[in-house]
Structure 1
């Protein structure tokens, strides 16, 4: 059985005993043998504790322990600083990122799991957690990636609505987890616009209350591949958020506005009000007289207050963001076909956040609309 290590006080007492015996004429070897230690241990003890009393030896031992503790603390701090500098670049927000960071520093610095988790303030239970993948996880991931590729401006909430419409039993949280894991995101967040109706009543606007109550229209500029201008007239129903028509031509004057309005009214009926800005195509005498004859009242916004026509401006930003900025039109006819396809998708399939992520006019109830034969 190994001998128990002696304390500092016991060593001092032993040294005093050997000194007394050597003073009585005994040799160091004999005195050490009688004390139960070797002469090498005696010289080592005398070098370390020679000339000290018991209190001084105890104090020296405490200082040695404190010094060793501080050395270990400094070593741990230096190691932690080096680990955080080299092995943990970026923010460790998600549990998966933390698990990867712990595995990396364990491999690099040969640390235990407990110590690596302590450095990163990471729970060992979370580190040992093994995710349970559902049987349809891979297929759902592929479906999310496919939708994100087809609709690059859609976020995970709108993608969730499309998945649920397609028969997937996937909630928003699950889609968001897969969305983040695959590194999907919507670049360049849109700048928010002001509200159309203010709570303090500082700006009173007619609010649509039913279908065909208030329509609004506006113009959007684009161009073909050769640099020639394209002009789009967008017409929406403010209550249903449905795009009633998008007329595409090189130029659109007042007669073009009336032709588009007439074709839509033949299929949808005459609205009570039509909102627009103060452009020459909208304020011309012919347009105002024709609208008055069919029974539609005009609502003109204040000059320079485009936000008052907020629904149409919002739609214009969507068509530019999701279609016009990502397409190259080589001819007028190609632009008319692609824009009409996008309008049909917007009305029947695209989830609208203000409608509870439902499309404005789902396919099952979509009426037959007279096709606008766009004139150049």
Structure 2
């Protein structure tokens, strides 16, 4: 239409009449379907709410909400809106035993390797508390999360005993080697009787415990940093 108007030097009305097109049709601007617009807005909302999630995880969240949507459609919206995909964590190649020998890092089945660690936090009054987390490295499932003002090796034993009864006994359990809760003689003897091999990372090398460290980072970024705990019970 614009070409015809430019070539013939006529108005929009005459150009439409010349080619037999209604002016209303020429001026029509297509509108996105209501569902498409709602989906676009929901993708943006989820991206803002979960700042560390990528388009694939957003797709999973949408599907869980009941949206009939595939990853390609979400990715198209993701790119069009200029949303940022978080950088992937580098994969690690090995796990180190206490004696210095190594085993494969990537577990191949459930209950092969568990890892546990603490996250430190404070309640609104400034008093510190810690959260003990236990993770299955194959399923990436957080098996337990225990918050307390003080947590010692006995608390670790009691929590693990409960998890062993519920989930089964893992082959390996990994932690740092400087926390007294994880290297206590009582804990090590108890694990040995159950034929659970403890795996300790090198001092100052948190990347060797990549699964739980990644979980810690997401937990802090997506939950702890946005919450204010007035009491330990709230945590």
TM-score of Structure 1 vs Structure 2, range by shorter chain: 0.7 to 0.9
Match of 2:19 in 1: none
Between 1:148-157 and 1:310-319, the stretch displaced more is 148-157
1:136 aligns with 2:35: yes
Q: Could you say what secondary structure the match of 1:195 adopts?
A: coil
Structure 2, unaligned runs of 5 or more: 1-26, 95-100
Q: Deviations over 1:201-252 (max 9, x none)?
A: xx94333221111111111111111111111111101111111111111111
Q: Measure, in 1, the Cα distance between the counterparts of 2:133 and 2:32.
A: 46
Which one of 164, 169, 177 corresponds to residue 265 of structure 1?
A: 164
State yes or no: 1:320 paired with 2:220: yes
- Give the whole-Å Cα distance in 2 for the aligned partners of 1:265 and 1:224: 31
Displacement of 1:325: 1.1
Of 168, 180, 189, 1:289 maps to 189
Tell me the CA shift for residue 173 of structure 1.
4.3
Question: What residue number does 2:23 align with?
Answer: none
Q: Are residues 1:195 and 2:91 paired? A: yes
Match of 1:155 in 2: 54
**1:180 Cα offset (Å):** 5.6
**Native 8 Å contact 1:230 1:250 kept in 2:** yes
Instruction: Report if the CA contact (8 A) 1:196-1:205 is conserved.
Output: no
Match of residue 114, structure 2, among 197, 207, 215: 215
Q: Does the 8 Å CA contact 1:275/1:300 hold for their aligned counterparts?
A: yes
Alpha-carbon distance in 1 for matches of 2:212, 2:121: 17
Residue matched to 1:13: none
Give the corresponding residue for 1:205: 103
Q: Say how many residue pairs are matched.
A: 201
* Structure 1 segment 329-340 matched on structure 2, within 5 A: 329-335=229-235
Higher helix share: 1
Q: Which has the higher contact order (CA 8 A, sep 6+)?
A: 2
- Secondary structure, in 3 states, of the residue corresponding to 2:163? helix
1:328-370 residue CA offsets vs partner (Å, 9 max, x unmatched): 11110001xxxxxxxxxxxxxxxxxxxxxxxxxxxxxxxxxxx
Listed as ranges, the matches of 1:96-245 within 5 Å are 133-179=32-78, 193-197=89-93, 204-207=102-105, 208-245=107-144
Shift of 1:153: 3.2
Whole-angstrom CA distance in 2 between matches of 1:216 and 1:156: 27
The equivalent of 2:150 in structure 1 is 251
User: Which structure has the larger Rg?
Assistant: 1
Structure 1 or 2: larger strand share?
2
Find the aligned partners of 2:110 and 2:28 in 1 and give their Cα distance: 53
Q: What stretches of structure 1 of length at least 5 have no aligned partner? A: 1-127, 336-376
Which residue of structure 2 aligns with residue 305 of structure 1?
205
Provide the secondary structure at the position in 2 that maps to 1:330: coil
2:119 is paired with a residue whose SS is strand
- Structure 1 segments, 4+ long, off by >6 Å, are none
| Residues 273, 267 of structure 1: alpha-carbon distance in 2 compared, 3 angstrom cutoff | same
Measured in 2, the distance between the counterparts of 1:230 and 1:131 equals 56
Deviation at 1:181, TM superposition (A): 5.6
